[in-house]
Structure 1
Amino acid sequence: MALLSIRNLSVEFATAAGPFRAVDGVDLTVDQGDVLAIVGESGSGKSVSMLAMMGLLPWTATITADEMSFDGRDIRRLSARERRKVIGRDMAMIFQEPMSSLNPCFTVGFQIKEALRQHLNLDRAQRHARAIELMDLVGIPAPEKRLSAFPHQLSGGMSQRVMIAMALACKPRLLIADEPTTALDVTIQAQILDLLSDLQKETGMALILITHDMGVVAETAQRVQVQYAGQKVEEQPVEGLFATPHHPYTAALLAALPERATTRRLPTIPGVVPGQYDRPAGCLFAPRCAKATEICHSTRAPVQGAELGLARCHHPVTQPEEATQ
């Protein structure tokens, strides 16, 4: 049985101009110990999908799904009290922008201990010892001293490590890392990714890595799920995706990597991701796709079989040489 199973997840936001569908029929499966990367441009619904599953979207969001289960429990049917027992303990999330995710009014030690107080039956001394252990685990020097620091007194890299310590506090079975290296310099990025990879291997937890960095995907993930304009357009093991992407969008993303460039000018994807007012009637990628035909513009794309990476496409790529054209 999968640890996390989501089927046909859709999220609509109420706006002054009418409803906007940010996530459109997304499926996702994660097993215990799995490392799944979700990639795509900004606005592709990566973060919103996970926030919907965690119950962290505002009241303006309408969430529907045929299935949304964690460890065999239907998340949709959990009461607010029952959900709070799961979120933060068995399922945790590292948010983007640690400087805005940490509360500036409290010390980082207080914020780590608060997670422990909410979910674990530990007394004050045990919470203090566990907080020091967590700070040390994520590589923060002089952890006992740092517990009394406020977020503004820490660097971006240190703040991100504090966020990771908070997420790991209750030894979750599933960790969601949402752009964990955003706004960090390259050296710190590598340290954070190595830390997450090592912790995942040591604890055996499942890891969902939300990113737009294909280099991070190649180094860290076992499977890759590609999203575009709120839809899942492809899913493959990482080796297969880099060798033969089956959706033209995935192929275009990989072709734009500097290390894959065959000319002095990097290839680009023309146009922009469709928004609320310009969503095509057919395939959402058709206006930007060099392979698009009339059917692509008029008819929603079907989902291909697993042998073609579950590509949501009328004309999936089938040969490695096609993917590089």
Structure 2
Amino acid sequence: MSLLTIRNLSVEFATSSGGFRAVDGVDVEVDEREILAIVGESGSGKSVSMLATMGLLPWTAKITADEMSFAGHDLRSLSGPARRRLIGKDMAMIFQEPMSSLNPCFTVGFQIKEALRQHLKLDREGRKRRAVELLDLVGIPEPERRLAAFPHQLSGGMNQRVMIAMAIACNPRLLIADEPTTALDVTIQAQILDLLKDLQQETGMALILITHDMGVVAETAERVSVQYAGQKVEENAVEALFDTPHHHYTAALLAALPERATERRLPTIPGVVPGQFDRPQGCLFSPRCARADDRCRQVDPPVQPAALGLARCHYPLHAPQEAQAVEVAR
């Protein structure tokens, strides 16, 4: 049985001019001990879909789903107290920007121990021992002394490690890491990713990694879900996705990797992810796709079978010729 199952998740934000659908019919499934990567450009709805799962969106967000369950709990109908017992203990999240997520008014030790006090009911000495253990686990030197440090006294990499320590404090069954290497230099990025992989293997937790870096995906994940403009456009195992992408957007992302470039000029994807006022009819990627035709621009694309990576596309790449002929005939 899957640890986390989400079916047909949609998130719509109320605005002065109506509503904006930031997530549109997304499915997510994660098994125990699995590493799933969710990739896509900024504005693809990656973070919003996971914040909706955690129940951390503002009241202006309207969340609907056919199913949203975690370890047998229906997340759609949880009461406030029940959700607070679950979130932070069995489900935890590393937020994108540690300097804006950590409270500047409290020491990092206080913030780590607060989670332990809330969920594990440890006494004062027990909380301190566990906090020191956590800081040591995430590779922070002199952990006992660092408990008294404020966020502004630590580097960006150190604060990211503190965020990880807070997230894993109660040994969660599922950890969601939202762009955990943003704004860090390359050497620190590698250290953070290695740390997350080691923790996942040691504790057996499932890990959802939200990123736009395909290199990170190749090094870390087992399965990849590609999102674009709030929709999931492809999902496959890492090797299969890198070897034979089926959606044109996925292929364009991979082509933009420097190590795959065959010319001096790095390929790019023209245009931007559509927003509230420029959302096209038909396939949402059609304004940026070199192979789009009138059908793509007018008709919503179907979701292809699993053999074609669940690609949301009229003309998936690497499809059998006879299947493409049937599609064109339609």
Range into which the TM-score falls when normalised by the shorter chain:
over 0.9
Aligned residues with identical type, % of pairs: 80
2:22 match: secondary structure: strand
* Counterpart residue number, 2:124: 124
* Counterpart residue number, 1:172: 172
Matched, 1:55 2:59: no
* Counterpart residue number, 1:323: none
2:29 match: secondary structure: strand
* Counterpart residue number, 2:135: 135
2:208 match: secondary structure: strand
Q: CA contact under 8 A between 1:246 and 1:317: conserved in structure 2?
A: yes
Residues 140-179 of structure 1: pairs in structure 2 closer than 5 A:
140-179=140-179
How many residues were matched structurally?
320
1:252 match: secondary structure: helix
Query: AA paired with 1:262?
Result: T
* Counterpart residue number, 1:312: 312
* Counterpart residue number, 2:325: none
Give the CA deviation at 1:319. Answer: 6.4
Give the CA deviation at 1:110. Answer: 0.3
* Counterpart residue number, 1:89: 89
TM-score by length of structure 1 reads 0.97
Deviations 1:21-74 (A, max 9, x none): 000000000000000000000000000000000000001100000000000110
Residues 1-325 of structure 1: pairs in structure 2 closer than 5 A:
1-318=1-318
Deviations 1:134-159 (A, max 9, x none): 00000000000000000000000000
Query: AA paired with 1:58?
Result: P
- List runs of 5+ in structure 2 lacking aligned partners: 321-330
Instruction: Give, in whole Å, the separation in 2 of the partners of 1:256 and 1:77.
Output: 42
TM-score by length of structure 2 reads 0.96
2:32 match: secondary structure: coil
Instruction: Give, in whole Å, the separation in 2 of the partners of 1:216 and 1:271.
Output: 24
Instruction: Give, in whole Å, the separation in 2 of the partners of 1:34 and 1:127.
Output: 29
Instruction: Give, in whole Å, the separation in 2 of the partners of 1:145 and 1:26.
Output: 44
Instruction: Give, in whole Å, the separation in 2 of the partners of 1:138 and 1:272.
Output: 37
Instruction: Give, in whole Å, the separation in 2 of the partners of 1:201 and 1:57.
Output: 30
Q: CA contact under 8 A between 2:175 and 2:208: conserved in structure 1?
A: yes
- List runs of 5+ in structure 1 lacking aligned partners: 321-325
Q: CA contact under 8 A between 1:244 and 1:319: conserved in structure 2?
A: no
Give the CA deviation at 1:231. Answer: 0.2
Query: AA paired with 1:220?
Result: T
Give the CA deviation at 1:121. Answer: 2.3
Query: AA paired with 1:34?
Result: E
1:76 match: secondary structure: coil
